[in-house]
């Protein structure tokens, strides 16, 4: 699929936007003395052995090392066998007898709150903000209005534009669409405008829906996606499932599957798909950056590989799924009940 200049520019902007995350994760690796461990080990070290050496859960350390290997800090080895990590010229310079202490100083000054640290990686306690609940960001009007809502709206605008431009056939014959976790209707409003025959239903928590302004062609419904989803031809989940654990995603997907007609309906998931094999496209670095961001600000959220998506879709009972490339950070996954 051809890439235009706008797509490349957006990808580069995403990568630059995650620059502070890279600084944070490099600092964390130095805190954990990973460069020194590799130096002393002498040969590539397996992920379980590294996990034991630094005292971090394997799954979380894997996500950190995956990100750092993509950026050339470490080297991933073990094709066809156990995943191992080896030194690079950069990692050799990050030991405690070289630039490691300087990186720790730089990180202490420059890395913002809410990023991953050695302590949070070891304890699995996130340093970030609460994304929901009675004491969460919805109770903080300044943060909600000026930071989170505007960020989500801009992200939705960008991705929905890619959906409209590169996935038009996906809405052929669709008369009704539920946007689950659709916030104040940014994405759904754009879709209804682009496809006027569609009746839009925006489902979100009562405290979110209460702040929504009226949108032509959009009905706002207060509720919980864990309990029930309004019936429609199509149910869409945009940037929703990456907030939740596999178990919770399966429950959400089951409610969505119940809401669409068997044989003609589908569930559309708009989310990132990670490539762990070093391939991918110009958005690969941004997707990995988003993954470690999710680890910093959610309990169980993560970006998923294709196999991880297939697992939760199969567990939820979908008979098949198809991936569509929309030339954006996210993909469209069509799931059929």
Residue 242 bears catalytic tag:
yes
d(CA 285, CA 182) in angstroms, rounded, equals 26
DSSP 335: E
What angle, 0 to 180 degrees and rounded to 10, lies between the N-to-C axes of helices 19-31 and 34-41? 50
pLDDT of residue 272: 97
Q: Tokens in use for 252?
A: 């959400």
Core vs surface per residue 14-47: b (16+ CB within 10 A) or e: bbeebeebbbbbbbbbbbbbbbbbbbeeeebbbb
Q: Which domains does the chain have, with CATH numbers?
A: 5-123 (1.10.10.10), 137-283+292-336 (3.40.50.150)
Q: Which of 62, 70, 155, 242 is catalytic?
A: 242
Which residues of the chain carry a pLDDT beneath 70? 1-5, 17, 106-114, 124-149, 278-279
Specify whether the CB–CB gap between 297 and 269 falls below 8 A.
no
What is the per-residue pLDDT for 41? 96
The reported pLDDT for the residue numbered 8 is: 78
The pLDDT of residue 118 is 86
Supply the pLDDT for residue 128: 46
What pTM, to 2 d.p., does this model score? 0.83
Tokens 């708009």 belong to residue: 270
C-alpha to C-alpha distance for 279 and 275, rounded to whole angstroms:
6
Beta-carbon contacts of residue 314 (< 8 Å; ≥ 6 apart): none
d(CA 318, CA 315): 8
Q: Which distant-in-sequence residues (6+ apart) come within 8 Å of 12 by Cβ?
A: 282
pLDDT in the model for residue 235: 98
Pairing relation of β-strands 266-271 and 218-222?
unpaired
Q: How far apart are the first and last CA of the chain?
A: 28
Distance CA 18, CA 83 (A): 25
Could you tell me the CA-to-CA distances from 300 to 59, 239, 291 in Å, in that order?
11, 14, 11
Which of 276, 282, 279 minimizes the C-alpha distance to 306? 276
**Cβ-proximal residues to 64 (8 Å cutoff; 6+ apart), any chain:** 25, 28, 29, 116, 121, 292, 295
In which element (H, E) is residue 31 found?
A: helix 19-31
Name the residue among 14, 335, 319, 333 with its Cα closest to residue 167. Answer: 333
Q: How far is CA 25 from the centre of its chain?
A: 17
pLDDT score, position 279: 67
DSSP 214: P
Residue with tokens 């009226």: 214
- Rounded to whole angstroms, the Cα distance separating 188 from 178 reads 8
Helix (H) or strand (E) run with residue 273 in it: strand 273-274
Q: What tokens appear for 24 in the block?
A: 């944070």
Nearest to 60 by CA among 117, 4, 100: 117
- pLDDT recorded at residue 223: 97
């Amino acid at each position: 699929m051809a890439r235009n200049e706008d797509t490349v520019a957006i990808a580069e902007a995403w990568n630059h936007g995650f620059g502070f995350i890279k600084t944070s994760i490099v600092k964390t690796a130095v805190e954990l003395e990973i460069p020194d461990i590799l130096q002393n080990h002498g040969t590539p070290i397996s992920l379980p052995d590294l996990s034991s050496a630094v005292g971090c859960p394997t799954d979380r350390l894997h996500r950190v090392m995956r990100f750092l290997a993509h950026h050339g800090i470490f080297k991933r080895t073990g094709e066809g066998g156990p995943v191992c990590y080896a030194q690079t010229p950069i990692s050799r310079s990050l030991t405690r007898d070289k630039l490691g202490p300087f990186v720790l100083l730089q990180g202490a000054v420059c890395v913002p709150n809410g990023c991953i640290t050695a302590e949070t990686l070891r304890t699995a306690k996130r340093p970030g903000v609460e994304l929901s609940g009675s004491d969460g960001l919805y109770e903080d009007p300044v943060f909600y209005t000026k930071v989170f809502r505007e960020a989500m709206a801009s992200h939705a605008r960008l991705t929905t534009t890619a959906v409209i431009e590169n996935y038009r056939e996906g809405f052929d014959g669709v008369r009704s669409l539920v946007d689950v976790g659709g916030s104040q209707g940014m994405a759904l409003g754009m879709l209804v405008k682009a496809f006027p025959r569609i009746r839009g239903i925006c489902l979100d928590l009562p405290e979110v829906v209460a702040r929504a302004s009226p949108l032509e062609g959009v009905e706002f419904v207060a509720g919980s996606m864990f309990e029930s989803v309004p019936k429609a031809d199509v149910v869409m989940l945009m940037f929703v499932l990456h907030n939740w654990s596999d178990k919770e995603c399966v429950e959400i997907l089951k409610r969505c599957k119940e809401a669409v007609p068997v044989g003609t309906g589908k569930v559309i998931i708009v989310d990132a798909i990670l490539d762990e094999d070093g391939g991918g496209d110009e958005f690969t670095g941004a997707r990995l950056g988003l993954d470690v961001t999710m680890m910093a600000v959610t309990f169980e959220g993560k970006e998923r590989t294709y196999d991880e998506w297939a697992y939760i879709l199969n567990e939820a009972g979908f008979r098949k799924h198809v991936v569509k490339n929309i030339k954006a950070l996210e993909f469209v996954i069509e799931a059929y009940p």
